[in-house]
């Protein structure tokens, strides 16, 4: 396995829609997935899309660890916001409730910055796992945010293009000033 170079904002690979993976069983796809997982973990990311490592294919890896969930949810809003380490090939997202939920997002391709992004808080996603098995889950909260963020990369979008207020694009070192205001 290898740590891959991560493309940064401005690189054309991040602005180009990714191609469907035609053959999940190829050794190149398995190697790509293994390298993406290693790269994501090394960079302390919650997710990584193949275009971020200069490969224009519809592949994402992600995890939504419990430590990154919102502890302030009311009982009626509680939902499993976590997701195990997941490989999703040729993913699709279905919005189950378009009501937006705002949250701070960062991106390995936009290092050092965070932005306030509103996204649908309740989705269903489906795709294929590395063995060709169907993966279908319902997600809310951070889990839903991570999936949508990574799938945006497959469509040539960065989170900054989803921001409604660019005054909320800040350096990570300054986020402490926004914790109470958000």
Indicate which residues carry an active-site annotation.
Answer: 150
| Count of CB atoms situated within 10 Å of the CB of 132 | 9
Q: Which residues have CB under 8 Å from 169's CB, separation 6+?
A: 113, 114, 115, 160, 163
Closest CA to 15 of 152, 110, 169: 152
- Return the sign of the alpha-carbon dihedral for residues 16, 167, 174, 80: negative
Helix (H) or strand (E) holding 85: strand 83-107
């Amino acid at each position: 396995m290898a740590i891959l170079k991560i493309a940064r904002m401005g690189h054309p690979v991040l602005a180009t829609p990714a191609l469907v993976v035609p053959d999940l069983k190829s050794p190149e796809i398995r190697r790509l997935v293994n390298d993406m997982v290693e790269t994501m973990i090394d960079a302390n990311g919650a997710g990584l899309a193949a275009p971020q490592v200069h490969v224009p294919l519809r592949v994402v890896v992600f995890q939504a660890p419990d430590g990154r969930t919102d502890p302030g949810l009311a009982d009626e809003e509680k939902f499993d916001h976590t997701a195990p380490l997941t490989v999703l090939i040729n993913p699709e997202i279905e919005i189950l409730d378009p009501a937006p939920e705002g949250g701070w997002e960062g991106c390995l391709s936009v290092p050092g910055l965070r932005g306030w992004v509103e996204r649908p808080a309740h989705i269903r996603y489906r795709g294929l796992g590395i063995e060709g098995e169907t993966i279908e889950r319902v997600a809310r909260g951070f889990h839903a945010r991570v999936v949508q963020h990574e799938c945006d990369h497959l469509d040539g979008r960065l989170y900054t293009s989803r921001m409604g207020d660019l005054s909320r694009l800040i350096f990570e070192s300054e986020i402490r000033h926004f914790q109470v205001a958000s």
